[in-house]
Amino acid sequence: MKNRQFLSVRLITLISLVASGVIIVLASSCGACGREKASIESDSLKGLKDFYMGYFPVGVAVAPNSLDGDQAELIRKHFNSLTAENAMKPGPIHPEENRYFWEHADLIVDFAQVYGMKVRGHTLCWHNQTGAWMFQDSQGNQVTRETALARLQDHIKQVVTRYKGKIYAWDVLNEAVTDDQDPAKIFRESLWYNICGEEYISKAFQWAHEADPGAVLFYNDYNTENPVKREKIYNLLKKLIEEGVPVHGVGLQGHWNISNPPAQEIRESIDKFSSLGLEIQITELDVSIYASRNDTINMGFTPEREQKQMDFYRTAFDMFREKKDFITGVTFWNISDRHSWLDRRERKCYPLLFDEDLKPKKAYWEVVRFW
Ligand code: XIL
């Protein structure tokens, strides 16, 4: 009898021990669920700029008409730096010799001021999107070197002065180095180069510096990961620095795609340019699903391409975080896959972190989870 009572007591004890163990296990795993849920919730309240607070500002290139509605909301949540996609380029902002068009650029700068964002100026001197008038006299003949330089000086002075103290960094010179793989050819054969010779380069930086001594001045280019072009850019920047020209940073545009360039080449460029004591910014980041901008076959955003894009973005941002002592900004070129400058009528490129409904893509989560 006693034995039976003892056995049943032991049985009850055993059952209750197992039960409480199960409860503890359940409770603790539920706690984990709760914690995970809470962190997913708080992660979705955060924006890119919050995840990257201790690293570098995260920017986006915008048009004035994107500063409204759901896109404006997305911009405010995720970004703390703006670049004008077109509005500050020489052609749009200075369409005729005696006429500036400030309205669009002002809208972008005002938006940034209201929401406490930084502004990168893009760009003071470029071979594209520059009024034909810059290089012609009233008869349509090509101007002299003196006239071209005087016009460039006036343009830089007016634009930089207007936004002094509001634009913290300028792409002074865009894409002046050639893609030609012949190491002997350094400069792009632009009108600036053909009319003025190499001198317009150092002058542009000096004039920008005179107009706003506080602005951080960049040389900006694409294909900066190509070893031959990298070497040319490096040598040009080294020479400018040695001559005392006020150049402070180099912008790697970052128009990349899911297969190129290899991460090692990006790393090499960051290391090489920063060895000159220059700041590095990724100024125009997008990662297309197409290897070439001229690709016309519509391939679609398949799961394989989505995965490759996630891998590319994760690897790139792991590296950017690792190089945070040298990288002072990362800017995306356009807001979401709703619209990218790379899209053509017959195909979309899906290069950004937000989809057409402005929802974070899987690649977004690869960029904000630091493991
Ligand atoms: C692009 C804009 O996104 C387009 O809207 C415009 O039609 C052409 O220029 N490198 C640059 C940027 O430095 O200014 C370019 O922007 C993209 C390539």
| pLDDT per position as a tens digit, 110-152 | 999 999 999 999 999 999 999 999 999 999 999 999 999 999 9
Handedness of CA 282, 286, 292, 293 (dihedral sign): negative
Q: How far apart are CA 235 and CA 238, in angstroms?
A: 5
Q: What is the pLDDT, as a whole number, of residue 35?
A: 58
Residue 193 Cα to ligand 1 midpoint, Å, equals 20
Average pLDDT score over residue span 98-103: 98
**Residues of the domain holding 78:** 48-368
Q: What is the pLDDT, as a whole number, of residue 5?
A: 45
* Residue whose structure tokens are 């290089």: 135
Domain contains 79 = yes
Domain contains 329 = yes
Which of 257, 333, 339, when mutated, tests ligand 1's pocket best, judged by the most ligand atoms within 8 Å of its CB?
333
Residue pLDDT, tens place only, 7-30: 443 444 444 444 444 433 434 444
Task: Give yes or no for a contact between 251 and 241, defined as CB atoms under 8 angstroms apart.
Answer: no
Residue pLDDT, tens place only, 218-271: 999 999 999 999 999 999 999 999 999 999 999 999 999 999 999 999 999 999
b/e 284-295 (16+ beta carbons within 10 angstroms → b): bbbbbbbeeeeb
Q: How far apart are CA 202 and CA 213, in angstroms?
A: 15
Catalytic residue at 284? yes
Q: Count of domains in the chain? A: 1
pLDDT interval class at 39 (50, 70, 90): confident
Domain contains 208 = yes
Residue pLDDT, tens place only, 173-225: 999 999 999 999 999 999 999 999 999 999 999 999 999 999 999 999 999 99
Residue 47 Cα to ligand 1 midpoint, Å, equals 25
Q: What is the pLDDT, as a whole number, of residue 10?
A: 44
User: pTM to 2 decimals?
Assistant: 0.90
CB atoms within 10 A of CB 204: 27
Domain contains 82 = yes
Q: Which helix (H) or strand (E) holds 342?
A: none
Q: What is the pLDDT, as a whole number, of residue 33?
A: 55
Domain contains 28 = no
Domain CATH code at residue 179: 3.20.20.80
Selection from 201, 215, 220 nearest residue 163 by Cα: 215
Q: How far apart are CA 287 and CA 340, in angstroms?
A: 11
Domain contains 86 = yes
Residue 16 Cα to ligand 1 midpoint, Å, equals 70
Which of 129, 253, 341, when mutated, tests ligand 1's pocket best, judged by the most ligand atoms within 8 Å of its CB?
341
Domain contains 278 = yes
Residue 22 Cα to ligand 1 midpoint, Å, equals 61
Domain contains 34 = no
Catalytic residue at 198? no
Which one from 175, 225, 279, 366 is the annotated catalytic residue? 175
Q: What is the pLDDT, as a whole number, of residue 19?
A: 46
